[in-house]
Amino acid sequence: MIPYPFEYRRAKSLQDAQAILANNPDAKLLAGGQTLIPTMKMRLANPSELVDISKLAELSFIRADGDALTIGAATTHGAVAASAEVRRMIPSLAHLAAHIGDPAVRAAGTLGGSLANNDPAADYPAAVLALNATIKTTKREIASDDFFTGMFSTALEDGEIVTEVAFAKPLRSGYQKFANPASRYPMAGVFVAQTKGGVRVAVTGAGPGVFRVTEMEAALAKNFAPDAVASIKVDPADLNSDIHATAEYRAHLVTVMAKRAVEHAVAHDGH
Ligand SMILES: Cc1cc2nc3c(=O)[nH]c(=O)nc-3n(C[C@H](O)[C@H](O)[C@H](O)COP(=O)(O)OP(=O)(O)OC[C@H]3O[C@@H](n4cnc5c(N)ncnc54)[C@H](O)[C@@H]3O)c2cc1C
């Protein structure tokens, strides 16, 4: 296969990365490369320039301040999983990160890369949506309800870089996924979070993009118990059917994973 040429640039700073993107609309950010490089290998993307932000210290951090937990966009899945701060404040988020892909993927893949890519089967979007996190970029702050706009698409504009994600410590939360045995991507993953503002339930891996289940949210707001969601079904018509599972089976999995996620949240009482 004929290799196609591209320039590799390691950004010296966030500003430097922004400047390179502004000068070359055909340039692409490189974070962990766990999605972009395979996509380039498959000739589904061929940027003329790669701007590596993976080593920028200003994007690689985990900061806890009272009930606020902020994670830099270039923080790896492995660092999130291992972080004492994340485990203390949102253990279900550490649990989620610890089950992304395999050790090699977790050592390189980043929170910002996962959100910007917005794979319909990515784990992090379920956490960000259920925890009502705020995505901060080089241009603005975006609420989670406005960030995920569809399959592999987000509210991000050209040249806009995700810098960090701000979470608030929930009262209780839980995440459970039915993972594809090969890739570990969720075929159905459900994140439930009970915060002072109410209950949010987000589903990934089952539909064309991450989505909330307001019927389950209403039931859990009344009674935060596994049985409250045990008989709630999502409509298979909105879900994916593929070689791994039918839409009907995914709908069934959503209910089972939601029940287990609540069990996890109740059993661990958020800790
Ligand atoms: C074998 C394998 C198994 C996997 N299993 C799972 C799984 O179980 N669950 C799961 O959720 N994911 C899984 N993944 C995907 C993994 O989590 C990737 O790390 C993630 O999708 C992309 O993150 P990255 O840092 O590698 O981004 P990259 O591949 O570097 O970039 C992805 C895209 O995001 C853009 N981008 C990167 N950073 C930013 C930023 N800060 N601001 C704006 N745009 C940005 C890039 O330009 C590119 O378009 C798997 C991947 C592999 C290869």
Residue 222: strand, helix, or coil = helix
Does the domain formed by 7-55 have CATH 3.30.70.260? no
Every domain of the chain and the residues it spans: 7-55, 171-271
Instruction: Name the token pair of 226.
Output: 């596994």
Q: Which superfamily is assigned to 171-271 in CATH?
A: CO dehydrogenase flavoprotein, C-terminal domain (3.30.390.50)
Strands 186-195 and 141-143: unpaired
Pocket-testing residue among 75, 105, 204, ligand 1, by greatest number of atoms within 8 A of Cβ: 105
Residue 144: strand, helix, or coil = helix
Rounded to two decimals, what is the model's pTM?
0.97
Please give the single-letter amino acid code of residue 39. Answer: T
Pocket of ligand 1 (CB under 6 A): 28-36, 38, 73, 100-101, 105, 109-110, 112-114, 116-117, 119, 122-124, 156, 161-162, 183-185
pLDDT, tens digit only, all 271 positions of the chain: 566 799 999 999 999 999 999 999 999 999 999 999 999 999 999 999 999 999 999 999 999 999 999 999 999 999 999 999 999 999 999 999 999 999 999 999 999 999 999 999 999 999 999 999 999 999 999 999 999 999 999 999 999 999 999 999 999 999 999 999 999 999 999 999 999 889 999 999 999 999 999 999 999 999 999 999 999 999 999 999 999 999 999 999 999 999 999 999 998 755 4
Atom of ligand 1 minimally distant from the CA of 183: 3
